[in-house]
Amino acid sequence: MSFEVRSKDLLGRTGILHTKHGPVETPFLFPVVNPNAQVISPKDLRDKIGFEALITNAYLVWRRYRGESDIPKIHELLGFDGVIETDSGAYQILQYGDVEVQPAEIVRFQERLDSDIAIILDVPTGQEVSRDRAKWTVDETIRRADEALRVVTRKDILWVGPVQGGVYPELVAHSAREMAKRDFAIHALGSPTIVMQQYRFDLLVDMIMAAKLNLPPHRPLHLFGAGHPMMLALAVALGCDIFDSASYALFARKGRYMTTQGTAKLEDLEYFPCNCPACHETDPSEIRKLLLTDRERFLASHNLYSCFTESQAIKQAISDGRLWELVEARSRNHPALERAFKRMLRYAKSLETDTPIAKRKGPFVTSPESLSRPEIIRYEERLLERYAPPSAARSVLLLPEEFMKPFMKDLSRDDFLRSIEARRYVHICSYGQVFPIIPNELFDVYPLSQTEDALSLTETVVNRALKLMTSYLRKANYRNCVMVAHEPWQQRMGRAIQKRFRRRIAVRVLNVSDFDEEAYQQIRRSLKPKNRSQRIS
């Protein structure tokens, strides 16, 4: 196995990609290096910025050395002893329509270059094409994949099988299923560049998920052409492990300065919102005085630092189990990202699959969208599918979640709870906005008491809570329900439950202004059994 997964969160993961020139820790962005001209040398990419790997274009090298019997190894040519991935010329097909090299020929050439990772010559779908044309690019890429695998002789090179289909998710899914049958170490999603340039990140979500859900999970997924720090967290959360981009240099050439909040023009900046080695101890006015080549080199360096720093932040978020929080925070940086984040919620169930059951830190719930996070979906489904109340329980006492918080140090409260628990026919549950109902015996199970929220009380939030509470009560075998309501929204919910269960469960709502001895006595009286059957334990 060339890919070793270390930790997971959502569909994102940290891992180690093993190559013959050493390991690459993912998620990782491969900076694109032009073999004929570099704004930053490959050596400086590694020694000064920290990139242990890069990607270059084998087709451009082929044009330079075609017909020659003696060609340098790619590491020698670039003066770089780290990991090198080589592209095959598909980008030039996308830009110019065709290349003069044949698919089998560029495979053999990449083997002669001694690449660590190599991409077959696929046919990019592009964006503004008909469905018939898109289908042809999928079929042709599959045909070329079979041709490439027939001529491959080097098993120490990790071969990349691209997935095409463009903006047609059903074609992307078909392409992914077919490429998954072939013996590739890595897969890549092609043709997203124009979609990203147009900030169609919501469409990008559908494209990535169509590929990810139909590819083998043990193979890393490479998102071609993605290299802006503002969208890396989103792409990782959807399951992308590898990225490549020349945007750091292309943006620098246009005087653009990358941040996780977006792209700024150097001419508009009064301050650098960054303290990377490039920005440290300088300011925009000083950089604007530099010669064009020096200014371009500065911007390219900063842009790479920005991407590298975001990659590190993403890996730490996965390790902490806080990738959702990072993606949600980044989504607030641009409306296009927020649209994409909301589109991601359509795949909430798929995101739950690889999210750990327990994490080192509790989740943060800061918006209605946060209620779709995997931990919450998982709890709701398992509560209804796998949980049954104690068999002796005939009555349920619903207490507001604020009453049950473990940090409440109140001896009278503890005495009260013990007195209720002694009545074995009474089952204690708490209820709230994030977790609409929690059986008392599960309260300390992750993530129930570990979750922090700052939800605004909206009709949507309350209706969601009411829906789950209703589903739970329908499934349970209670005969009586006492609901303690402290706030107006809780009282409204209590009245709604009374209305829904008036013929099945005797529901009583107790409106209390404070949790004091008087309230405790009122609750005890309301739970007093009315007949012998309620005393049976």
User: Catalytic site residues?
Assistant: 87
Q: 3-state DSSP call for residue 119?
A: strand
Could you check whether the bond before residue 27 is cis, i.e. omega within 30 degrees of 0? yes
Residue count of the chain, please give it.
Answer: 537
Secondary structure (DSSP) of 284-304 = HHHHHTS-HHHHHHHHHHHHH
Distances (CA, A) of 320 to 316, 359, 477: 6, 7, 39
Closest to 83 measured CA to CA, from 2, 164, 191: 2
CB atoms within 10 A of CB 153: 8
Q: Which residue type does 349 have?
A: K
Residue 494 zone, left/alpha/beta (φ > 0; ψ -120 to 50; rest): alpha
Q: Which residue type does 207 have?
A: M
Classify residue 43 as exposed, middle or buried by CB count within 10 Å of its CB (0-12, 13-18, 19+). middle
Residue 450 host element (H or E) = none
Q: Which residue type does 315 have?
A: K
Pairing outcome for strands 438-439 and 426-431: antiparallel
If you search the block for the tokens 């993606």, which residue do you land on? 327
Distances (CA, A) of 533 to 395, 397, 446, 537: 11, 18, 35, 9
- Report how far residue 397's alpha carbon sits from residue 150's, in angstroms, rounded to the nearest whole number: 68
Looking at residue 48, the DSSP 8-state letter turns out to be: I
Looking at residue 533, the DSSP 8-state letter turns out to be: G
